[in-house]
């Protein structure tokens, strides 16, 4: 999940609408633990609302993020833009959670034997989900896959393979299917278990810093080295150290590159027939992988598959309606979707620690939660996200100037 670029409502309102819908679904998924636990237990085996929302987010990110890099044509300003949109709200929410924990208003995750410094470093890279570190907030795990995708996109851009999006999506999807068929499965955070979480965090954080600096350098050799090293590091972490099954990590990346391929077809860079064929293969491999995944629970698989197919259909419907007028309510909701995504678990953590979870379903409180959350997110967008994005644009202009 990532914030929309400024001014996108007029040009890409359908993407904002998709972001808004996905954000509401994810919030419902998490808030139902507190207010609608019985209803949730009935729904989730049939339809995994969380997977639906994040797959829509990943498709949207795939569609727009590589286009942002190629439009800029500069890795340095791309990273400035990405970090200025993601970090300010992330830092504000994490700080608020830690303050609430100190005040006894919320309870943060238990990190076991991991040191506070290593936990902080892992979260600062936004790769904590792929570095064997529990997330301070559960929703932060998707940002790790977003960051891995950014690194891969930059790697492909520096070696001039960025237009191979359809081929890359196909390769990743097929690998996902093959891994399930061959029974290839790694334990969660396998690489951390092999080399140790602390050493892996230290090595990965240094490697990421070096990769970003080199990829942003003026020397062509350093740019290629930085881009490739960052991309390889991200791919290794996704393949060997994720907490989701290997096939699902590959499917997540395939879905994002499928979104990129759709954008290329829109721009006439590849044929629509090619993208349609790619979409069929990616969807088939994803569904087949989920169905064959040996968790022994048919209904869990059904819930994932229904959610995935629904996300693909939702994105397709949005794409088909891209030239239609988008209701301002939906586009506005998409504008604050990043705030909705990051802020709602903080509010839920405070409610769970103070009032506690409901023993019986209470739809009124579920609605009231949204009524409180959305105005709060308007404020965090206005006073945290917007200034951060403005600062990023100023920095980008400065590094572009002689």
pLDDT per residue over 205-229, tens digit each? Answer: 999 999 999 988 888 999 999 999 9
**348, 365 Cβ separation under 8 angstroms:** no
Average pLDDT over residues 250-269: 96
299 has a pLDDT exceeding 70: no
pLDDT at 306 (0 to 100): 94
Q: What is the DSSP string of 112-160?
A: TT--HHHHHHHHHHT-GGGTT---SSTTHHHHHHHHHHHHHHHHHHHTT
Q: Please list, in sequence order, all residues whose beta carbon lies within 8 angstroms of the beta carbon of residue 199, skipping any fewer than 6 positions away.
A: none
* 7 in a structural domain: no
* 3 in a structural domain: no
Query: How far is it, in rounded angstroms, from Cα 382 to Cα 359?
Result: 36
* 114 in a structural domain: no
* 4 in a structural domain: no
Query: How far is it, in rounded angstroms, from Cα 331 to Cα 147?
Result: 25
Average pLDDT over residues 149-172: 95
Give the HSE-up count for residue 336: Cα atoms under 13 Å, Cβ half-sphere: 21
Average pLDDT over residues 13-19: 93
Query: How far is it, in rounded angstroms, from Cα 31 to Cα 273?
Result: 41
**169, 276 Cβ separation under 8 angstroms:** no
Taking the CB of residue 104, how many other CB atoms lie within 10 A of it? 9
Distances (CA, A) of 262 to 118, 161, 166, 310, 341: 39, 16, 8, 17, 25
Q: Please list, in sequence order, all residues whose beta carbon lies within 8 angstroms of the beta carbon of residue 346, skipping any fewer than 6 positions away.
A: 93, 96, 97, 100, 106, 137
Distances (CA, A) of 329 to 31, 112, 376: 22, 43, 16
Query: How far is it, in rounded angstroms, from Cα 26 to Cα 90?
Result: 17
- Banded pLDDT at 185 (limits 50, 70, 90): confident
More confident residue, 324 or 376: 376
9 has a pLDDT exceeding 50: no
Q: Percentage of the chain surpassing pLDDT 90?
A: 74
* 34 in a structural domain: yes
- Banded pLDDT at 5 (limits 50, 70, 90): low
Q: Percentage of the chain surpassing pLDDT 70?
A: 95
pLDDT at 7 (0 to 100): 44
pLDDT at 195 (0 to 100): 92
* 112 in a structural domain: no
* 337 in a structural domain: yes
Tokens of 234: 């991200």
Q: Identify the domain containing residue 322 by its residue range.
A: 14-107+121-400
- Banded pLDDT at 123 (limits 50, 70, 90): very high
59 has a pLDDT exceeding 60: yes
Nearest residue to 352 (alpha-carbon basis) of 147, 107, 181, 68: 107
Distances (CA, A) of 293 to 183, 186, 216, 300: 9, 13, 40, 10
- Banded pLDDT at 396 (limits 50, 70, 90): confident
pLDDT at 297 (0 to 100): 58
Q: With DSSP H G I counted as helix, E B as strand and the rest as coil, what are the percentages for the chain, rounded to 5? A: 75, 0, 25
125 has a pLDDT exceeding 90: yes
* 356 in a structural domain: yes
Distances (CA, A) of 300 to 51, 289, 297: 12, 13, 5
Mean pLDDT of the chain: 91
Q: Please tell me the total count of domains within the chain.
A: 1
In which region does residue 358 sit, left (phi positive, over 0), alpha (psi from -120 to 50) or beta (all else)?
beta
Query: How far is it, in rounded angstroms, from Cα 26 to Cα 14?
Result: 18
pLDDT at 314 (0 to 100): 97
What is residue 49's three-state secondary structure? helix
pLDDT at 11 (0 to 100): 54
Nearest residue to 21 (alpha-carbon basis) of 325, 373, 340: 340
Express each pLDDT in 311-367 by its tens digit: 999 999 999 988 888 888 888 999 999 999 999 999 999 999 988 888 889 999 999
C-alpha R_g of the chain: 20
- Banded pLDDT at 8 (limits 50, 70, 90): very low
Query: How far is it, in rounded angstroms, from Cα 397 to Cα 58?
Result: 28
Give φ, ψ of 265 to 5 degrees.
-65, -40
What is residue 1's three-state secondary structure? coil
């Amino acid at each position: 999940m990532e914030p929309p670029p400024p001014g996108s409502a007029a040009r890409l309102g359908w993407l904002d609408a998709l972001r808004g819908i996905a954000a509401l679904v994810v919030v419902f998924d998490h808030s139902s633990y507190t207010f609608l636990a019985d209803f949730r237990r009935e729904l989730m085996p049939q339809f995994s609302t969380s997977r639906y929302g994040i797959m829509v987010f990943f498709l949207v990110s795939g569609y727009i993020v590589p286009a942002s890099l190629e439009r800029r044509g500069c890795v340095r300003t791309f990273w400035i833009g990405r970090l200025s949109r993601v970090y300010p709200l992330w830092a504000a929410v994490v700080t608020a959670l830690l303050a609430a924990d100190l005040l006894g208003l919320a309870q943060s995750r238990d990190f076991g034997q991991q040191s506070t410094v290593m936990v902080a470093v892992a979260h600062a890279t936004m790769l904590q989900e792929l570095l064997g570190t529990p997330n301070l907030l559960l929703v932060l795990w998707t940002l790790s896959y977003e960051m891995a995708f950014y690194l891969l996109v930059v790697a492909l851009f520096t070696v001039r393979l960025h237009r191979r999006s359809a081929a890359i999506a196909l390769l990743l999807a097929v690998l996902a299917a093959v891994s399930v068929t061959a029974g290839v499965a790694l334990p969660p955070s396998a690489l951390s278990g092999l080399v140790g979480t602390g050493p892996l965090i230290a090595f990965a954080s240094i490697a990421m810093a070096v990769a970003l600096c080199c990829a942003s350098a003026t020397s062509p050799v350093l740019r290629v080295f930085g881009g490739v090293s960052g991309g390889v590091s991200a791919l290794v972490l996704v393949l060997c150290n994720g907490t989701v099954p290997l096939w699902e990590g590959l499917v997540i990346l395939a879905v994002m590159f499928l979104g990129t391929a759709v954008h290329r077809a829109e721009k006439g860079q590849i044929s629509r027939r090619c993208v349609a064929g790619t979409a069929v293969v990616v969807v088939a491999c994803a569904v087949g992988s989920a169905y064959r995944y040996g968790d022994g629970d048919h209904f869990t698989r059904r819930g994932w598959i229904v959610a995935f197919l629904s996300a693909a259909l939702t994105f397709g419907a949005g794409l088909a309606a891209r030239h239609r007028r988008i209701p301002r309510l939906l586009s506005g909701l998409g504008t604050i979707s990043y705030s909705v995504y990051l802020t709602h678990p903080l509010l839920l953590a405070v409610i769970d620690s103070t009032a506690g979870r409901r023993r019986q379903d209470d739809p009124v409180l579920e609605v009231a939660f949204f009524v409180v959350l959305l105005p709060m997110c308007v404020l965090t967008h206005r006073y945290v996200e917007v200034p951060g994005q403005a600062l990023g644009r100023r920095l980008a202009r400065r590094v572009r100037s002689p």
